[in-house]
Amino acid sequence: MSRSFIIDASVGFAWVHPHQATTETDKLLDSLGRGTLVIVPSLWSLEVANALLVAVRRKKMTAQERTSALEYLRCLNITIDSEGSALTFSTLSALAETYDLSIYDACYLELALRRRVPLGSRDAPLCAAAKQCGIRLV
């Protein structure tokens, strides 16, 4: 496992929703517990919190499970990178257009490119774009 890596919201959501967890997402969480630097763009917490709210609304989890998940995620030692948002109208938009991604997914791709670290994601288009850019997937 790499000494540091980027994760997207799909991985964070899998860490707190048992039906989304995979062997790979569990390994990433274990790596965080062993001191690996996990980096996320500032939009990560918004995306994960929204996914949890949607899960409650769709009756996929209870409100108490959501509250517990939010508290758990809040306590994780994750590094938040806020530089990417300044690139929304330039680099992020170009990456999104080039690789047919949302601006949100382009934010994760840009962060992995800028930091030159692997990316953890369950999102197929983002993973495909990362591979095209030479980003290692974890």
pLDDT of 19-45, one tens digit each?
999 999 999 999 999 999 999 999 999
Residue 138 lies in a domain: no
Task: Please tell me the distance from the alpha carbon of residue 10 to that of residue 17, in angstroms, as a whole number.
Answer: 10
Q: Are 119 and 6 in contact (CB under 8 A)?
A: yes
Q: Annotate 60-80 with b (16+ C-beta within 10 A) or e (fewer).
A: ebeeebbeebbeebeeeebee
**Could you tell me the CATH number of the domain that includes residue 45?**
3.40.50.1010
Total-model pTM: 0.93
Find where tokens 């108490």 sit.
Answer: 64
Residue 137 lies in a domain: no
Task: Assign 1 a pLDDT band (cuts: 50, 70, 90).
Answer: low
Residue 83 lies in a domain: yes
Domain span at 27: 4-132
Long-range CB contacts (< 8 A, 24+ apart) of 58-65? 60/17, 60/19, 61/17
